[in-house]
Structure 1
Amino acid sequence: MANNAVVNMFKVKELRSRLLFTLLILAVFRLGSVLTIPGINATLLLQYFENIASGAESAFASYMDFFAGGAFEKFSVLMLGVMPYISTQIILQLALVIFPSLKRIAQEDGGQQKVQSWTRIGTIFVCLIQSMAITVYADSINQQVPGAIIFENKVYFNLLAVLTVTTGSMIAVWLGDQITARGIGQGISMIIFAGIVARLPSAVYELIKKVQGGDINVVFVIVAVFLFLAIIGFVVFEQSGERKIPVHYAKRVVGRKMYGGQSSYIPFKINPSGVIPIIFASAFLTFPLQIANSLSSKATWLSKVASVLNPLGFWYNFIEVLLIIFFAYFYTQVTLNPTEIAKNIRENGGSIPGIRTDMTEKYLQKVLNRLILPGSLYLAAIALLPTIIQIIFKFPAQISMLMGGTSLLILVGVDIDTMAQVEALLKMHHHDGLTKKGLKSRGL
């Protein structure tokens, strides 16, 4: 009989250490998410956000809070989370494509380390800009709720807030790096994952209160739950699906030995770019959204931008769909370059059955194009779900954001990737995997 996989996870010393280390780092991150920055009256701040239960400002706060795991409305030291880091990554990835000289540097020995250093330096500048906008946002709250800012000296508060929030974001990035190096899963994704999961209890509680108060029909809740489960099943199927491109390698004689002659395949996922396009699109919009909302009281044109970028409005969702499609093509071309794949196949004496060797690159590009467009439209449809659910069913922003869009894709995607890593470690130490598929592969 196969041993219990969950028990085996804690029997393997390496896996146990990685799991406990990951839980410890996530606990530290969640602790930082509830520590209010110096100079803010947490009680008055809570009352302010309770009073703006609807409207554009509430939609903005809920949107920012979603990515920060509830830290934004608390004005915590981690209120920006890792989004500045992701925004900087997008800028650098675009720069590498636009400027060939930067791409050559990145491809040299040690080039990736240079890119990582540039990303971190760029993240500091993005954090400084966003944290300065936060001080203006805090001042506008203080004008509506006198006493929200404790310090009378505004210059002192602004400097302290900028330093605290910037340092907090860089610590969040560092925590993510530690998970990647010594824990389980991809660190930055795990940080976002933890923030989403942390909001589940409060979101469910708010939904229950709405139902008990008669604000939401219980039939709508039942329909939404079944819709949610169906979407999860569809997302899991889509994330696991693959298009396999067969490759046959010719026999080669090297010295007295013969190599090759076997067949293999290139696995292309149904959605090659995964959850990255929707994360990139959200991060790309977060930066101007925060700046516009925070500084809207200072300039009329910024208030118009803030109105256009209302997360529940048409233009915001339209721009997000376009960005998702763009980043789906962009990220897939960067990570799955048909030219490089075709080159590797040729250099290893391989060929795709039925395809001439000189047409390999064109064929791979054609296959990817057929996968990218449906995959990007699928991501766009998922991204629009929270807005649709919130408008039609009148669900609270917290619960509607968890029933679709970025949250659902991240939850499923990170869970699948983490389970795959755990299963690989279990099999490496000769234990059963977590899934039936893993058991079948071992003939059990």
Structure 2
Amino acid sequence: MANNPIAGIFRIRDLRNRVLFTLGILVIHRIGSVVPIPGIDMGELSKYLASSGTDGRGIVDYLDFFSGGAFSNFSLFMLGVMPYITTSIIMQVSMLVFPALKRIAEEEGGRKKIQRYTRYATVFVCLLQGVALLRLPLNYNVVVSGIADWQFMIIGMLTTTAGTIFLMWLGEQINVKGVGNGISLLIFTGIVARMPNAFMVMIREIRAQNLNPVFVILTIVMFVIVVILVVYEQQGLRKIPVNYAGRIVGRKQYRAQGSYIPFKINPSGVIPVIFASSILTIPIQLSTSFAFGNSEFWGKVVTALNTNGPIYLTLYTLLIIFFAYFYTQVSLNPMEISKQIRENGGSIPGIRSENMELYLTRILNRIVLPGSLFLSMIALIPSLLIIAIPGFPQQMAYIMGGTSLLIMVGVDLDTMSQIEGHLKMHHHDGLTKGGKLRSRNL
């Protein structure tokens, strides 16, 4: 009888402990998402949420979805781990743009220094976001009476910053003692936690005859197809063959061998979507938090950047394509790759050594263009659903595509790969048929 892979996870003591430890950390994360920061009047907050409904709160709905409901609760984890992710991405790009940072990273212990700088910068980003976003509970009148605005702002900034730093620590604990990427799993859990409520809202809309069930069924079928395409895209590789000549190092002789350079269809992952959405939501956050929308200029900006409007969707698509090209070029530098191949005595079959950089650049450009267009298509799905099907719940639309879908698929594949590695190490079958998660060869 074939072994059950799920049962195999709990038969291996080390893997069982890692899985249970990870689940325990995720439970702590969910508990912290419902504990409000000091100064929030829970009675007034409940009244506000009941009166505003589940949709139509603009930027609050967007931020709330990716924090797993922590934002609308104004909880300890209302900022989530997004400040850390944004800071990490900026730091990675800065290392590639500024040679001084790159030299620090290449020194002995340099990676730890960069991580320390990233943590310090995350604290600064959290405080800045706290100044902007903590204006919302004041505007919504859900703060306990008797507390001065400046007192609430200071307490809230310190509390939410501490909450994000604590989430960073929890993510690191998962990396060391658990299974999967800790930070990614925290975001994944927040998104999945919103799914039951999103389905309930959609069912209520169908019962109220605000949604056509046929359209809903077609949308779900489309969602399954999109997930399959995203999995294919995430695992797709373009393998560039590289041959290494035999050589003698000291008294050891190394035989000639063949290898390959794996280029993913979308090397930048979900980073272009995060960057593009962050840039476009900054004016909306400022206007919502500081009531700049009362001025004529900010009113026009907010109207133009309506998430379902043509200007926003056009800018969103162009920024995704731009960041896909930019991040790929700085993270996969053809010049450095060519230099490493030459230094190790390698060559690409059919390509002269002096043309290697040009060849790799041409391959990357051919890969990134369709990859970025596919990424843009996935990112636009939520807005297109809301436009095409009036009354379609925003929470359900966020699940059907965009950053959430890319994160869920990517984190799921990564976690499955790690669990499968543990199972194979203990001579068990993998989670998939044949015991191997295969990458697609293009």
Amino acid at match of 1:6: I
User: What is the rounded CA distance, in whole Å, between the counterparts of 2:284 and 2:102 in structure 1?
Assistant: 30
Q: Residues 378-430 of structure 1: CA distance to partner in whole angstroms, max 9, x if unpaired?
A: 11110000001112113111000000011111111111111111111211222
User: What is the rounded CA distance, in whole Å, between the counterparts of 2:372 and 2:348 in structure 1?
Assistant: 26
Q: Which residue of 2 aligns with 1:124?
A: 123
**Structure 1 contact 351–357 (Cα < 8 Å) conserved:** yes
**Structure 1 contact 296–302 (Cα < 8 Å) conserved:** no
Offset at residue 66 of structure 1 (A): 1.5
Unaligned runs of 5+ in 1: none
User: What is the rounded CA distance, in whole Å, between the counterparts of 2:114 and 2:280 in structure 1?
Assistant: 23
**Structure 1 contact 193–411 (Cα < 8 Å) conserved:** yes
**Structure 1 contact 130–291 (Cα < 8 Å) conserved:** no
Offset at residue 314 of structure 1 (A): 3.0
User: What is the rounded CA distance, in whole Å, between the counterparts of 1:262 and 1:280 in structure 2?
Assistant: 40
Pair 1:84-2:83 in alignment: yes
Q: Which residue of 2 aligns with 1:347?
A: 343
User: What is the rounded CA distance, in whole Å, between the counterparts of 1:337 and 1:260 in structure 2?
Assistant: 28
Counterpart mapping for 1:4-403 below 5 A = 4-53=4-53, 58-142=57-141, 148-254=143-249, 258-297=253-292, 300=295, 301-394=297-390, 395-403=392-400
Amino acid at match of 1:342: S
Moved over 6 A (4+): none
User: What is the rounded CA distance, in whole Å, between the counterparts of 1:81 and 1:106 in structure 2?
Assistant: 27
Unaligned runs of 5+ in 2: none
In structure 2, the CA distance between the partners of 1:387 and 1:48, relative to structure 1 (3 Å rule), is: same
Query: 367-376 or 171-180, which moves further after superposition?
Result: 171-180
User: What is the rounded CA distance, in whole Å, between the counterparts of 1:111 and 1:289 in structure 2?
Assistant: 37
In structure 2, the CA distance between the partners of 1:287 and 1:118, relative to structure 1 (3 Å rule), is: farther
Q: Which residue of 2 aligns with 1:428?
A: 425
**Structure 1 contact 106–112 (Cα < 8 Å) conserved:** yes
Report the secondary structure of 1:119's partner residue: helix
In structure 2, the CA distance between the partners of 1:98 and 1:344, relative to structure 1 (3 Å rule), is: closer
Q: Which residue of 1 aligns with 2:410?
A: 413
User: What is the rounded CA distance, in whole Å, between the counterparts of 1:3 and 1:404 in structure 2?
Assistant: 35
Report the secondary structure of 2:427's partner residue: coil
Amino acid at match of 1:240: Q
Report the secondary structure of 2:134's partner residue: helix
Offset at residue 173 of structure 1 (A): 1.7
Offset at residue 343 of structure 1 (A): 2.2
In structure 2, the CA distance between the partners of 1:18 and 1:282, relative to structure 1 (3 Å rule), is: farther
User: What is the rounded CA distance, in whole Å, between the counterparts of 1:256 and 1:120 in structure 2?
Assistant: 46
Question: TM-score, normalization: structure 2?
Answer: 0.92
Report the secondary structure of 2:435's partner residue: helix
In structure 2, the CA distance between the partners of 1:168 and 1:254, relative to structure 1 (3 Å rule), is: closer
In structure 2, the CA distance between the partners of 1:164 and 1:255, relative to structure 1 (3 Å rule), is: closer
Offset at residue 302 of structure 1 (A): 4.4
In structure 2, the CA distance between the partners of 1:304 and 1:294, relative to structure 1 (3 Å rule), is: farther
Q: Residues 267-310 of structure 1: CA distance to partner in whole angstroms, max 9, x if unpaired?
A: 21222222232233334444444233211258624454444433
User: What is the rounded CA distance, in whole Å, between the counterparts of 1:416 and 1:439 in structure 2?
Assistant: 12
In structure 2, the CA distance between the partners of 1:343 and 1:227, relative to structure 1 (3 Å rule), is: same
User: What is the rounded CA distance, in whole Å, between the counterparts of 1:279 and 1:260 in structure 2?
Assistant: 45
Question: TM-score, normalization: structure 1?
Answer: 0.92
Offset at residue 234 of structure 1 (A): 0.8
Q: Residues 164-209 of structure 1: CA distance to partner in whole angstroms, max 9, x if unpaired?
A: 1111111122212222222212121111101000000000000000
